[in-house]
Structure 1
Amino acid sequence: MIIDESFQTSDIGHAEAMARRIYPRAELRESTGVPFRYEHLARGEDGVTFARFKIDSTMDIAVDFDRVAAFGVHVAGRYNVESNGDHVDTSQPFLFTPGPGSSLSEQLDVLTVNIDTDVLARSAAQRLGVDHAHLRFGRHEPKSPVLRSHWLRTVNYVWNSVIQVPDVFENDAIRASTLETVVTAALAAFPIEVSETARNFDFASSAAVRRAKAFIENNADQALTVAQIAEAARISVRALQLGFQRELDTTPMGHLRDVRLDAARRELAAAGDDVRVADIARRWAFANLGRFAAQYRTRFGENPGDTLRR
């Protein structure tokens, strides 16, 4: 289900009700006489939601993060935070781990990336090649300065170039692939320990790889994940990855990228003067035009604009 909502109010009861659409167990307690104003923009789908909160006045907020990990970036204002009894440093990207959290804020502006723990666990399991994965949350800050910077760049790019751009956000393929990247980046950047509970030992047959290829080629304009491709091929994600590496010397998502590049090239070659490269790139799920152009040059030895102008 797609989430797309924008809300503003000066009524703290209404604000609490709207906050509970994102965090069902949220309580807002105003602690100053300064006029109250609350606004949020929330967009996402399938257990991954970006939310920007702005709250005037001084606020005491209590939230039970039930089966969700909330990755925060403090933009402005005073913000004192606790998560599961631990003080959290909000001067850098931080994590509300599942469980009770609280904050005292003044003139708050904060961006959060809220990811269901089931979504995190499924993503971790797919990358391990196991049926199920168990997550154990550690500290509340990124694992290293390099990963902290990578996480910030990822969040800023997705927020500014995808979430807040309606034509891009509404593209199913771009939205799904972008949010999948966000989940991967979160697992890499923060100290979330992953342990496997059941390993897949099945291997992909040539027939299964052919089924996966056919599914990709017939649905390349749709939002696809590795898990969906594996399901269509009737094999595990790990088996799918091994099969593509063995038979095609690539990954399922690498093959999907090449199929989309080939389709974009066909459209560019047949397009008229009123067509833009950006429109075709987005139709085939390339959200970043610069990255699309680089991948296009690597595959075809020319810029997409050169193909269009022939």
Structure 2
Amino acid sequence: METLTFDSDDLSVTEDFLSRAYARMRIGSSTPDSSRARIRRAGMDSVSVDELALDFEMSYSVTPLGRICLCVVHEGTVRDHAFQGVEDSFGPGDVVLLAPPDLPYAGRICHARYTITLLDPALLDQVAGSLADPADRPVRLTGHRPHSDAAARQLRRTIGYLRDEVLADPAAADQPLVASTAAQHLAASVLSAFPNTALGQEADPDRGDAHPRALRRALTYIDDHADQPVTVAQIAAAAHVTVRALQYAFRRHLDTTPLAHLRRVRLAQAHRDLVSADPAGEATVTAIAARWGFHHPGRFASLYRDTYRRAPHRTLAGE
């Protein structure tokens, strides 16, 4: 897990830091003698969440980031923000894509407090997978604002959960299954919130339906790799079908999704560990849940009770 903090009122120092933390950029201010910037970052391999507070008006011109960059404004405004074909301004409550990973952008931040979330574009492909054939281009976001207020609210909640629940607990964030699950959840929320090239590419699902043998290969792969970070694309590759065909097969034959089935398998493994643990030993429900990718104890307990009709701590106690 990566963490960093920055606090300076020197504009040149701030420019140097921002260029190292994000991408090469030029910044300016009409009040360079009063230009305090505070930044706090927490991140994992493919995702980071930064909290920024700029107590002045700052212009910026940024080279391509190479990453998907989401901005949630809490206070102040972002004005005259522009990249190829787009010019917009944002205020409190807005959540936006600052620019596609391969495009530069520029604008002005005015006495603002905001959150920047960076994620590897490959996460979108891992979640969406290939919808047609291996020659498909990577999934791209085609709009910079969510398609609805409800989608924006859900994305803000997902970013808040990642920041406050996962990245706030370094021990949990360093668990591979917790990290991969949280990153995929964020990527899925991004795809759900923004228009993207994965939408509208669905062929007739019956034409791509996976044969039961392929479904069995997928189930075997999930069973054998439940203790590792797993993506839908990896499951589909193991089954020798496209992601779309795999998803349709799970819905048609099992009335679920690949990731929902993976979660059930991991829950069963957590149940097995709770049953086999020594009640007088050092094992805890929280540690066992995190080992299988369940970071939030309350959500794990609720899911466990729904499935096994008892609280996990009772199972651990041998009751």
| Displacement after TM superposition at 1:192 (Å) | 3.8
- How far apart are the structure 1 equivalents of 2:264 and 2:287? 18
Percent identity over the alignment is: 29
- 1:281 match: 289
- How far apart are the structure 1 equivalents of 2:254 and 2:192? 27
Query: How do 1:63-212 and structure 2 match up within 5 A?
Result: 63-84=62-83, 85-91=86-92, 92-98=94-100, 99-120=103-124, 123-126=127-130, 128=131, 131=134, 132=136, 135=140, 137-138=142-143, 140-192=144-196, 194=198, 203-212=209-218
- Give the aligned residue type for 2:142: F
- How far apart are the structure 1 equivalents of 2:6 and 2:147? 35
- 2:303 match: 295
- Give the aligned residue type for 1:27: R
| Displacement after TM superposition at 1:197 (Å) | 6.7
- Give the aligned residue type for 2:113: D
Q: Deviations over 1:50-85 (max 9, x none)?
A: 222234443222223455432211233454351325
- Give the aligned residue type for 1:261: L
- Give the aligned residue type for 1:259: V
- How far apart are the structure 2 equivalents of 1:106 and 1:227? 42
- 2:273 match: 267
- Structure 1 unaligned regions, length at least 5: none
Q: Deviations over 1:238-266 (max 9, x none)?
A: 23223434544432222211211111111
- How far apart are the structure 2 equivalents of 1:114 and 1:34? 28
Q: Secondary structure at the match of 2:272?
A: helix
- 2:6 match: 8
Q: Deviations over 1:138-186 (max 9, x none)?
A: 3x43322222221221111111001221012111111111111111111
Confirm or deny that 1:39 pairs with 2:39: yes
2:235 to 229, 235, 244: 229
| Alignment TM-score, normalising by the size of structure 1 | 0.84
Q: Is the 8 A contact 1:79 1:104 kept in 2?
A: yes
Q: Is the 8 A contact 1:130 1:197 kept in 2?
A: no
Greater alpha carbon shift after TM alignment, 23-32 vs 116-125: 116-125
Greater per-residue strand proportion:
1
Confirm or deny that 1:23 pairs with 2:25: no
- Give the aligned residue type for 2:105: G
Inter-CA distance 297–122: structure 2 relative to 1 (3 Å threshold)? closer
Q: Deviations over 1:68-124 (max 9, x none)?
A: 432211233454351325122222222213233223235443211223445435544
- How far apart are the structure 2 equivalents of 1:191 and 1:238? 18
Q: Secondary structure at the match of 2:159?
A: helix
- Give the aligned residue type for 2:41: L
- How far apart are the structure 1 equivalents of 2:20 and 2:180? 21
Q: Is the 8 A contact 2:49 2:118 kept in 1?
A: yes
Q: Secondary structure at the match of 1:31?
A: coil
Q: Is the 8 A contact 2:77 2:91 kept in 1?
A: no
Greater alpha carbon shift after TM alignment, 161-170 vs 69-78: 69-78
Q: Is the 8 A contact 1:65 1:96 kept in 2?
A: no
Q: Is the 8 A contact 1:215 1:229 kept in 2?
A: yes
- Give the aligned residue type for 1:167: A
| Alignment TM-score, normalising by the size of structure 2 | 0.82
- How far apart are the structure 1 equivalents of 2:141 and 2:71? 19
1:213 to 202, 213, 219: 219
- How far apart are the structure 2 equivalents of 1:141 and 1:196? 18
Q: Is the 8 A contact 1:202 1:239 kept in 2?
A: yes
Root mean square deviation, CA, Å: 3.0
- Structure 2 unaligned regions, length at least 5: none
Q: Is the 8 A contact 1:81 1:90 kept in 2?
A: no
